[in-house]
Structures are given as structure tokens and as C-alpha cells.
Amino acid sequence: MIDAGRPYLEPHPDLVRLLALFPYIQEYEALANEHGIRDIFQDNGGKLLQLLLNTGLKVAPGQMGADAKDADDHKYELKSVNLDKTSSISTNHHLNLRLLANFRSYEWVIATYRDIYLHEVYVVRAAVLEERYFARWEQRLRDEPIDHLNNPKIQVSHVRQHGTLAWFYVGGRTWRLSRDGDDYFADDGCFLVQATRADQAAGVATKGTWFAQRADGENPERIVGTSPDELPREVILRATGRWGPVGQSS
């Protein structure tokens, strides 16, 4: 604001709240620094830290190669998208043939968010992005009088259809795909199962009810408000393949 011809800045009353929160923000920044992230407010650094810690990936050093690597030194391209804002995934604002070659050489880890909350993590092989995306982008770069593409997009629907869902959040738990690819397990040891016909007949569940089942088989916990329409598509496919369609006895 201007007061008597001189600039005068008056703090907002909520500055007090921000100052009270700032030590926790500094802790977040310090934790991010330990994992190779230098600024949680730049380049989705805060979200990247969530992704790394939930997947066990590590930041890959260098600016021109892969974004991350796993314990076996496999390299990954990392991308994220806020589903509350868009259904398309950004790639690079200056995508040229050299960067496209990099894209083709790594597997991809694509994280979906709901605002600041990590929602799903997919592992996507470069091969499933080739025909619909990479080949078309290369054709444009070779045929058109341009030296780069400005941030071509990948659709979330394509990732969900062709990628492997490795992690997701639902029913108050985070779920991870087991090493053998047969089950989704929560950190507390539960695995995800669907209601059987017997459950429905006993009146403990309706069609579309899902349970967090403990490994000992006792006292399954109903995931209230969760139906197949609200679960990631791949969860439904894996569960129905193992336990039978909803409404049939396992």
C-alpha cells in the first residue's frame, strides 16, 4: 500500500500462524535435503519427498539423466499429476530428440495426487508409451520445422490402463503391491479382499463391499464407503481374478 506517497507494507494477521508453522516447514525442508531435494517449494519438491519415502526410491544424481533409482540401481523417470486439477501428465517444456531418447531408456514412475495427498503410484514401462506417445512425438520433431515440443502430455487414463499400480491410498490405509504381484498389502499386514456371497447372505456386507483382511483371517474390517467404482481399476482386476467376481463365493 501507499501511505503519504511512500510505500508501506503491513503484515496480514495470519502471519502469526505462518510463523508458528515455520519450524515444521523447516523440518520438512531438512528431511528433503537429506534425500537430495534442495527446495520443497520448487519443482514439486515436497510431493517428490512423499513419493520417494513411500516407494523407497532415491534421487538420481545429475541433471540430464534419470530422476530416480531403486536399490538395484534401476533408473526411473518420475512424473506427477494433481487429479483435482487435470487428467493429463506434463513431460517437458523443451522436449527434443535427446530427451526423448532418455524417456525411452527408463521405466516411468507416475504418481497421482489429490491436492497435496499422494493417491496412487504406477510403474509404467517405456514400451507401453511408445506407439501412442513417443513415436508420434518423434515423427513431429522430424517432420515439422521445430527443434522441440512444448510439454506434450500423457493421459492418466492410458497410465491406468497400461501401467502397474504399485501403491495406493484407500480406506484409511496405504496399500502396496506384493513382490509376487498377487495381493495388495497394508503396512499393518492386512490384505484387500472383496465381499463374498456368504458375506452378503449373512448380512455383513453388500455387493461392492471391500474388507481389510488380517493375515490370521479374523475380524475383517469393512472399508466404509468403498466400492469398485471408487477403487483403482487394477485393484478390481487383480482381486476379481483371485477371489472371483463380486457376489460369488470365493
pLDDT score, position 66: 87
Task: Look up residue 98 and give its amino acid.
Answer: R
Structure confidence by residue, pLDDT tens digits, 91-138: 999 999 999 999 999 999 999 999 999 999 999 999 999 999 999 999
Please tell me which residue in 43, 72, 75, 79 is annotated as part of the active site.
Answer: 79
DSSP 56-102: T-EEPSSSSS-SEE-TT--EEEEEEEETTT-SEE---TTB-HHHHHH
User: Is 67 part of the annotated catalytic residue set?
Assistant: yes
Pick the residue with more confidence: 143 or 228?
143
Residues of the chain with CATH 3.40.210.10: 21-168
Q: Pull the grid cell for residue 31.
A: 528431511
Please provide the CATH number assigned to the domain covering 21-168. Answer: 3.40.210.10
pLDDT score, position 125: 96
Q: What is the dihedral of CA 197, 199, 204, 206, to 10 degrees?
A: -30
Structure confidence by residue, pLDDT tens digits, 134-155: 999 999 999 999 999 999 999 9
CA distances, 145 to each of 102, 139, 148, 149 (Å): 22, 11, 9, 11
Please tell me which residue in 27, 72, 73, 77 is annotated as part of the active site.
Answer: 77
Q: Say which residues have a Cβ less than 8 Å from residue 60's Cβ, sequence separation at least 6.
A: 66, 67, 68, 69, 75, 76
- For residue 193, name the pLDDT band (cuts at 50, 70, 90): low
Q: Pull the grid cell for residue 94.
A: 523443451
Residue burial 52-74, b: 16+ Cβ < 10 Å; e: rest: bebbebebbeeeeebbbbeeeee
**45 burial type by CB count under 10 A (0-12 exposed, 13-18 middle, 19+ buried):** middle
Q: Say which residues have a Cβ less than 8 Å from residue 231's Cβ, sequence separation at least 6.
A: 170, 210
In degrees and rounded to multiples of 5, residue 47 shows phi and psi of -70, -35
Task: State mean pLDDT over 2-12.
Answer: 78
**What pTM was estimated for this model as a whole?**
0.81
Q: What is the dihedral of CA 124, 126, 132, 135, to 10 degrees?
A: 170
- Whether the pLDDT of residue 211 is over 80: the answer is no
Please tell me which residue in 67, 120, 199, 234 is annotated as part of the active site.
Answer: 67
Pick the residue with more confidence: 95 or 164?
95
Count of residues in the chain:
250
pLDDT score, position 137: 98
- Whether the pLDDT of residue 71 is over 60: the answer is yes
- Whether the pLDDT of residue 63 is over 70: the answer is no
Question: By percentage, how much of the chain surpasses pLDDT 90?
Answer: 58
Task: Look up residue 208 and give its amino acid.
Answer: G
User: Is 79 part of the annotated catalytic residue set?
Assistant: yes
Question: By percentage, how much of the chain surpasses pLDDT 70?
Answer: 73
pLDDT score, position 196: 62
